[in-house]
Structure 1
Amino acid sequence: MAKTVAKLVFIPAPGLGHIMSTIEIAKVLANRDQRLSVTVLIIKPPNSSSNSPVTTYIGSLAKRSMDRISFIELPQHETPTTRDSKGPLASFAEYMNNHREYVRNIVGGMISQPGQSRIVGFVIDMFCLCMIDVANEFDIPTYVFFTSSAAFLGLKLYIQTLCDDHNQDVVELSHSNTEIAVPTFVKLVPTKVFPNMAQTRETLEFLLSSARRLREVKAIIVNSFSELETHAIESLSSDNSIPTLYPVGPILNLESGSGAEKPLDDDLIRWLDNQPPSSVVFLCFGSMGSFEEVQVKEIARALEHSGHRFVWSLRQPPVDKRSRLTRDYEDPGVVLPEGFLERMAAIGKVIGWAPQVAVLGHCAVGGFVSHCGWNSLLESLWFGVPVATWPMYAEQHMNAFELVVELGLAVEITMDYKKNLSKPMAEAVVVKAEEIENGIRRLMEDDLVRTKVKKISEKSRSTVVEGGSSYSAFGYLIQDFIKNVS
């Protein structure tokens, strides 16, 4: 057995998808090269409840044994955040900054222990860029794990170029009804799908600061693969002003019973087992995806009129806007049209929190109405399930545009629906039942999109095995780490 000579320090953002993806990439690295070991520093999310999915998952990590992967849970900084006065992004940045001292102490302790392997890199989440400062103090190279698409990475860096080099007013641009050329896209990009962060002065500064810091690191590890985002990855790789790019995706957690989510209940398993192949449409909008009653009723009417079988993960808006996390309804019937559950009992299921991977992987599921989080899109493509887009916040509108217009791998329900996470009760628009129904019909009946998705599914699986492009990118990344030993 090769001697472990190189240690990596991973720092994921305190969100379920980010932590799970980080652990998956750590597992791949440890399995690929026995000279590597990984220590994952876990930051608890602010204002999280003891029974939230992310808290439950963090608690499960202490009970798991992984070869050459260890976990250290950082103390939670107790200083009150400034969310109300400075906004959620400034508050989050302050929260992350306050954890630098904990990371500094832990890493200093690791270095001072005799016989320890050399720390050859910090691998930090795209939302943990303040940790570059700590790595620099110890003269350790920093790598960023970018958990969104390569195309969005390119947009983020291009927005910074527009502001810093061309003095472009990006806030004004994002509110205009126009299209612009972005290097990582073949098609012109409508400014209406710019991320929420580009729409106000305060949040734009957060985006610009993040983009500037991305240019400081040694390399960017992106959760994507060349066969999916060919143009975007080639564009980034040919730009000498951008750090080395390692497209190693798709990085997915495909294990059931990982502690991250509830298992499928027996009733739902039996129901799915009894449905024809690819006949069920699955609706799920992520951990922060919820709707007010008026929108819930429109979705219900669309499902009923479409006649398609369905599984609908229906979640209640958060009571505490600070947490943003949705909850299960005790009785979903209170927000659904009268008699809906009874009428749909034979062809549909309304559930709470959904074990998304398990549902997408079931042969009965043939379509996915999604909020277009990047992890969700990669999972759907892995299983060959076409997507109907319903983005809500962050970069999801850009993801939807890329899948529908740029790549032709999804159909549109909407691409410009905006959800204000700071004011969960405020909805800018209600998507009507007819529009939703039309999207569901296209999703389940468009054979061209389905065929393209099946092909990319095969490529997503072949790219991560020996001989695939992502497998090779991992090899180059490991060489990069090992060179830092000397």
Structure 2
Amino acid sequence: MANAELVLVPTPGMGHLVSMVEMAKLLVARDSRLSITVLIMKLPIDSEVDSYTDSLAASVAAARIRLVHLPCVNSDTEISSGSFLTHFVESNKPHVKQAVADLAGSASSTWRLAGFVIDMFCTTMIDVANEFGVPSYIFFTSSAAFLGLMLHLQSLQDEQHMDITEFKDSAAELDFPSFVNPLPAKVLPSVVLLKEAAQPFLEHAKRIRAVKGVIINTFEELEPHALGSLAGLGAPAVYPVGPVLNLKGESKKKADGGHRGDDIMEWLNEQPPSSVVFLCFGSGGSFHEDQVKEIAHALERSGHRFLWSLRRPPPKGKFDLPRDYTDPAEVLPEGFLDRTAGIGKVIGWAPQAAVLAHPAIGGFVSHCGWNSTLESIWFGMAVAAWPLYAEQQFNAFELVVELGLAVEIKMDYRKDFRMESKFVVTAEEIEGGIKKLMEDVGGERRKKVKEVSEKSRKTVVEGGSSYSSLGRLIEDILNNTP
């Protein structure tokens, strides 16, 4: 059999890129006939991508995975606008086409282009796959329930001519086929509530209907209802292959040659089992000073040991990723670091997977990004949900209400560059959430989390549902290679 080459096009941004590369590793490890080229588009703001791909280059080359950096494009659209990503991906089309043509030109006679695997926000690249006459598959880096939401909203808009943005500030409870429970409009993602963003977003849903298959980073045992609802919503073939995780994590080199994260692990080694609450809000998560002080008061009053990843927000009006504080004391209540020195540690960047795996951690205050959600499930870690942006409010609702795997701190909180919550979550609310999280030791929720954790590990090994699903996907790719 000739070698089948897949071209993967991730959305720029670490959360999407890392998942896509991990999926590539699964595919090549499973079938020696596959090789993969990952085309990397570069955002003007994300410096992490370079260090991540540098660290990968040697290890993946041996595994039949190539990383190709596309030339930088200058998008004239403001990066904080609702249509930036659409324009950015669109403007990369000629580079993707050229890169694939170069691959084909340099390949041996046994090489065949088998298809494109395209990130959920890069659906415009389906056009390029069509030009090469190969099938497209979507890699969906969020939940099956969220795919259901996208498809349902798109049909409400296009078939029932409903204006989805009218749900903004609505107190309505909505029926969605991918959930058993009614969904409050207040947890819909900002992107469907804003006029300039809703249309391009729902365009992705429309295009997803036309691809050969959707590969979802979830597993049958986690979302049986949502997965079961997709066919009725007009989804193509669905392949749940998750949890697809990068559990090795990244260890960051310090300027002095040491590793960031070593001191965190040393501190955790000294704490009793399951005693520490870990607060971490993802690569884009940060809070303004008023909110930081409320979190600090809550931690101090709760009396629980804590590890807090505290990041500095980008300057007002500047669209960028948070950075570490030189001195976190400048935003914390006076004397906080001294008073909590015995029980807590405030850090900047955190090696999240390694921390969640540590026996000292007893609970996770999380923004509920989907990758973080899957990591918390893998490590059997109970979560207190405090979403910030993207589809995190929706994920928080799924975890707390639909699946019963998390407690709520503030499910409808938003810190989105296009739509921000004006309120501050009080120390009382945060403390209540932390206590509920940390003190429910033998409760139903903890039991459920442990059960789902065990299932998440079984599903990816031989005989498991995600393992079988990946096998079906590979058969489909090889049988449909032109």
- What is the TM-score normalised by the length of structure 1? 0.94
CA distance 1:363–1:392, shift in 2 (3 Å): same
- Deviation, structure 1 residue 217: 0.9
Match of 1:60 among 55, 58, 72: 55
Q: Secondary structure at the match of 1:143?
A: strand
CA distance 1:109–1:299, shift in 2 (3 Å): same
- Deviation, structure 1 residue 264: 5.2
Tell me if structure 2 keeps the 8 A contact 1:4–1:37.
no
Match of 1:350 among 346, 351, 354: 346
CA distance 1:297–1:320, shift in 2 (3 Å): closer
Q: Secondary structure at the match of 1:239?
A: helix
Q: Secondary structure at the match of 1:6?
A: strand
- Deviation, structure 1 residue 263: 4.9
Structure 2 partner of 1:211: 205
Structure 1 partner of 2:181: 187
Distance 2:278 2:381 in 1: 10
Q: Secondary structure at the match of 2:415?
A: coil
Structure 1 partner of 2:19: 21
Structure 2 partner of 1:101: 94
Structure 2 partner of 1:141: 135
Residues 121-155 of structure 1 deviation map (CA, whole Å, 9 limit, x = unaligned): 10011111111110011111000000000000000
Residues 244-294 of structure 1 deviation map (CA, whole Å, 9 limit, x = unaligned): 100000000001446699955333222211211111100001111111110
Distance 2:480 2:104 in 1: 15
Distance 1:121 1:6 in 2: 9
Amino acid at match of 1:179: E
CA distance 1:418–1:354, shift in 2 (3 Å): same
Tell me if structure 1 keeps the 8 A contact 2:251–2:259.
no
Whether 2:397 is the aligned partner of 1:428: answer no
- Deviation, structure 1 residue 46: 2.3
Match of 1:11 among 9, 12, 15: 9
- Deviation, structure 1 residue 323: 4.0
The 4+ residue runs of structure 1 with deviation greater than 6 A are 258-262
Structure 2 partner of 1:253: 246
Tell me if structure 2 keeps the 8 A contact 1:312–1:351.
yes
Whether 2:223 is the aligned partner of 1:225: answer no
Distance 1:260 1:403 in 2: 34
Whether 2:283 is the aligned partner of 1:290: answer no
Amino acid at match of 1:317: P
Aligned-pair RMSD on alpha carbons?
A: 1.8
Match of 2:475 among 469, 474, 479: 479
Whether 2:376 is the aligned partner of 1:380: answer yes
Amino acid at match of 2:24: A
Distance 1:438 1:379 in 2: 24
Whether 2:67 is the aligned partner of 1:71: answer yes
- Deviation, structure 1 residue 165: 0.9
Gaps of 5+ in 2: none
Q: Secondary structure at the match of 2:121?
A: coil
Alignment of 1:188-337 (within 5 A): 188-236=182-230, 238-239=231-232, 241-257=234-250, 263=259, 265-319=261-315, 321-337=317-333
Tell me if structure 1 keeps the 8 A contact 2:70–2:95.
yes
Amino acid at match of 1:34: S
Match of 1:393 among 389, 395, 409: 389
Distance 1:247 1:417 in 2: 29
Amino acid at match of 2:52: Y
Amino acid at match of 1:99: N
Question: How many residues get paired?
Answer: 475
Amino acid at match of 2:207: R
Distance 2:150 2:215 in 1: 15
Tell me if structure 2 keeps the 8 A contact 1:174–1:199.
yes
- Deviation, structure 1 residue 59: 3.1
Match of 2:402 among 406, 409, 415: 406
Distance 1:278 1:211 in 2: 41
Residues 293-347 of structure 1 deviation map (CA, whole Å, 9 limit, x = unaligned): 1000000000000000010000000127554200000000000000000011110
Percentage identity across paired residues of the two chains: 55
Structure 1 partner of 2:413: 417
